[in-house]
Amino acid sequence: MSDQPYPAATLQQVESSLTGFFQDLGCQLKEYGPERAVVELLLLPRHLNNASNLHGGVTATLLDVAMGLCGTWVEQPEQRRVATTLSMNVNFSAPAPVGSRIRAVAVRRSAGHKVFMASCDLLDEKGHLLAFGEGVYKRGKLRSELP
């Protein structure tokens, strides 16, 4: 195995290692490669705002998760690094109703020694742009490097 997106089995292994808010929200990891991650969510009533559309906080969460992942890919999934968000920005371009299946597609844009940057689009099933954002992240150590 080399610099390739994960096959389905590895994808599921990584997905189930993601804890807390990712699972609570109902996110799914659909694609994960060296510089790209795709996270999907089926919009339920609990994800909405008072105008009955996708809540801005859900949008921000999906972008944050996908961008954090796209800069911490490692060949060996059990070596998973953590990403720490330093800063993120989101622009909201269109609403989405309950029942939408939305996808955050994040791409790593730069990578230094400890800091990486990413941008991310949030799309609906038809590829319509719902939001887009960008972020700056600190890349954690490999699990094998941790004390």
Binding site for a second copy (CB under 8 A): 17-25, 45-52, 55-58, 60-62, 64-65, 68, 80, 82, 84-94, 109-110, 115, 117, 119, 129, 132-136, 140
What b-and-e string marks burial along 47-67, b requiring 16 or more CB atoms within 10 Å of the CB? Answer: bbeeeebbeeebbbbbbbbbb
Backbone CA torsion sign across 115, 130, 35, 67: positive
CB of residue 63 to a second copy, shortest distance in Å: 8
**Closest to a second copy by CB, 101 or 128:** 128
* Distance between CA atoms of residues 80 and 53, nearest Å: 34
Which secondary-structure segment (H or E) carries 83? strand 83-92
**Closest to a second copy by CB, 2 or 51:** 51
CB of residue 1 to a second copy, shortest distance in Å: 23
**Residue 40 in tokens:** 């999907």
**Closest to a second copy by CB, 2 or 21:** 21
**Residue 37 in tokens:** 């991650």
CB of residue 18 to a second copy, shortest distance in Å: 6
Which residue from 24, 29, 54 is spatially nearest to 124, judged by alpha carbons?
54
CB of residue 82 to a second copy, shortest distance in Å: 5
**Closest to a second copy by CB, 64 or 103:** 64
